[in-house]
Amino acid sequence: PPAAPPASVFPGLGAVDLINGNAALTFTGGLLVISPSTLGLNIDPANKVTNAPAADKTFTAALTKTTGEWKGVFTHSDGKKPAWQAATFQKAGAHQGGHGFFLSLPAKPADGLAESGAVRIQAR
């Protein structure tokens, strides 16, 4: 029989959508002015991740195929660029997708005002 076409380790994806993306990257909490804040991204069958639209340079996202681990950076509403990370949960159900966190970056000099926030990645 012919080999099966490649499939992403991220479950439930539709076709790549160059405008809105086939997945949503959502940030909540962490001192964001607008929370939740949702961005679009595309995940192709080879697990290559691109921003949607491609001109959106406010975040980076990378998916490790062998582990389902996500890493990236995004532009917080305070203008800083905190790192974020997440893990992919493949089992079908309400929690399917990526789940993780980010830490807002404190002011300089450090005022102690930094908080954690949640990251969620869902197929669209």
The model's pLDDT over 79-108, given as tens digits with 9 standing for 90+, comes to 999 999 999 999 888 889 999 999 998 877
DSSP label of 77 = T
Residue 111 has pLDDT above 80, yes or no: no
Q: pLDDT (tens digit, 9 = 90+) per residue, 4-53?
A: 667 788 888 999 999 999 999 999 999 999 999 999 999 999 999 999 99
Q: Are 86 and 100 in contact (CB under 8 A)?
A: yes
Please tell me the predicted confidence (pLDDT) of residue 19.
Answer: 96
In the structure, what pLDDT confidence band is assigned to residue 118 with cuts at 50, 70 and 90? very high
- From the list 87, 77, 97, 80, the residue with the least C-alpha distance to 35 is 77
| Identity of the residue numbered 74 | F
Closest CA to 50 of 58, 59, 41: 41
Give dist(CA 87, CA 70) in Å, integer.
6
Among 93, 90, 94, 42, which Cα is nearest to 69's?
A: 90
